[in-house]
Amino acid sequence: MDKADKRIVLTGFMGVGKSTVARHLSYLAKEKKLDLDDFLEKEEKRKIPEIIETDGLDFFRDVETRNLSKILDETNARIISLGGGAWTTEKNRTLIKDCGCVTVWLESTFDHCWRNISFSKRERPLAKNKIQARKLFDERQKVYCLADWHFVINPGLNSFEVAKQIAKEIFLAEIH
Ligand code: S3P
């Protein structure tokens, strides 16, 4: 695949800052970005918590896969931030790999993610309490590490600085 066609996909646990980093990265690289959760909610005309609570998690995962597919096939977004569970579905990983995307796992400590989850206004049905979130966090590490790049977030950096580092180290290496 030509470097000019490559896309960057950000994955990682809830609260790690995928959407914010994607926004900064889009600004820095002057490339279009899309957030899977936002895209999905607009397409479905429903909020994620409502989908999960009304129709269940399996239904939501199918909706997520369908919308991921749509982003990959029908948009020209070069930077895509996933929801925290999207990369854990094998079908999604295959879709992403088949499109020649470069995947980046944004990794941070559980405490960092949990702090962001607790302060965020966003409702997260799969992280309603710390014990539930911690369990999911531990279970998912082995799947997140299947991403092409593993970017450990330095807790001293803000999300713009993180994006700058990604732009310098990963984006330049993979895209330009
Ligand atoms: C989920 C993460 C959420 C959202 C949904 C499920 C998960 O996205 O997709 O609530 O399974 O980790 P964020 O990672 O943006 O919070």
44-76 tens-digit pLDDT:
999 999 999 999 999 999 999 999 999 999 999
Helical spans, DSSP H, in 75-129: 90-98, 110-119
Q: What is the dihedral of CA 136, 9, 27, 40, to 10 degrees?
A: -70
Which amino acid does the sequence have at 97?
K
**Per-residue confidence (pLDDT) for residue 6, from 0 to 100:** 83
Distance 49 CA to ligand 1 centre (A): 10
From the CB of 124, is ligand 1 less than 6 Å away? yes
Compute the mean pLDDT over every residue in the chain, rounded to the nearest whole number: 94
From the CB of 130, is ligand 1 less than 6 Å away? no
Distance 85 CA to ligand 1 centre (A): 6
107-153 tens-digit pLDDT:
999 999 999 999 999 999 999 999 999 999 999 999 999 999 999 99
- Rounded to 5 degrees, φ, ψ at 105 are -90, 115
**Burial zone of 126 (CB within 10 Å; 0-12 exposed, 13-18 middle, 19+ buried):** middle
Residue nearest to atom 11 of ligand 1 (CA): 85
From the CB of 85, is ligand 1 less than 6 Å away? yes
